[in-house]
Amino acid sequence: MENTVRPDIPAGLEIFETMRADQGGVALLSLHLDRMCETCRVLDVPFDRAVLTRAVLGAAGGTASRLRLTLQTDGRHRVDRFNLPPAPEGWRLGLAEARVDAGEFWRGHKTSHRAIYDTAREEMPEGIDELLFLNTAGHCVEGTITNLFVDPCDGLLRTPPLSAGALPGILRRKLIEARDARVAPLRLVDLTSARRVYVGNALRGLIPVSLDIPAPA
């Protein structure tokens, strides 16, 4: 169940969305803004959808790029644009040492209050492209910048529930709404026995992974 008790807002907190832009526009922009709007509602942060839409579309170029929309708690915003290298053919997935608290308020919101993920990325071992987090109950949650998807054997992807501590990712939402994925609790044994394992986000889509994790007990 989502933690509805809002803690104090950390000084300097920023709400952000990372989007893919190309000649066709900005992919899934409305879904990104929906998620940002919900966080702003919960945190009582000013949100002007029309202004932010114009800012994002104005920053999009003609080539594939990564856009980061950042909103401060006083309503000020900026959009940064970065080159987007070709999508990887596959990643190697390791296991993060730290565990997340599924009930923590910030788990459900994409903000700069994410030290546990930033630290994991800074300390990522050589040869590892992404790290999987478990929660304190031992259930799979998500990667540092991705959601987790598992195909056990039937082609229908499984992805951890938000109640496990997962971020409501945009790609995750799209796949669930298209009935290409469904929510299911996952443990490490579900990954090691699966036909395929993926991580993914709206920027990169689904990325197949090979596992570099300890064998489940």
Q: Which residues, other chains included, contact 100 with Cβ-Cβ below 8 Å and sequence gap of 6+?
A: 107, 116, 133, 134, 135, 136, 141, 165
SS3 at position 17:
strand
CATH assignment, 91-211? 3.20.10.10
Chain segment 102-138, per-residue pLDDT in tens:
999 999 999 999 999 999 999 999 999 999 999 999 9
Q: Helix axis angle, 29-43 relative to 49-59, nearest 10°?
A: 140
Count CA atoms closer than 13 A to 100's CA, side-chain side. Answer: 31
Query: How far apart, in whole angstroms, are the C-alpha atoms of residue 40 and residue 116?
Result: 22
Hey, where are the domains in the chain?
14-83, 91-211
Alpha carbon 79 to its chain centroid, in Å, reads: 19
pLDDT at residue 5 in the model? 62
pLDDT at residue 61 in the model? 81
Chain segment 186-204, per-residue pLDDT in tens:
999 999 999 999 999 999 9
| CATH 3.40.50.720, applies to 14-83 | no
Whole-number mean pLDDT of the chain? 94
**Distances 181 to 110, 141, 172 between C-alpha atoms, Å:** 22, 15, 8
| Strand 205-212 versus strand 91-100 pairing type | parallel
Partners of 67 in the β-ladder: 19, 81
Residue 174 pLDDT more than 50? yes
